[in-house]
Amino acid sequence: MKEVALFVAEKLATMEYVTSTKTHFILKKYKQDGVLFTKKGKDERAVIS
């Protein structure tokens, strides 16, 4: 995370024509290549509130 923040702050933000950035992180893939996993089982994803 620190490396990404430094890259954005030191490299991208200093470019003349860069007006904004958005950073996204993939934590875990549940769908890939348009394939939906339909097996009914226990949902083991963590609840975030």
Question: Which pLDDT belongs to residue 15?
Answer: 92
pLDDT at 45 > cutoff 70: yes
Report how far residue 18's alpha carbon sits from residue 1's, in angstroms, rounded to the nearest whole number.
Answer: 21
Give first-to-last CA distance, the chain, whole Å: 22
- Domain spans, the chain: 1-27
Largest CA distance in the chain: 51
pLDDT tens, residue by residue, 3-40: 988 998 999 989 999 888 888 888 877 766 666 667 67
Question: Which pLDDT belongs to residue 37?
Answer: 64
Question: Which pLDDT belongs to residue 47?
Answer: 84
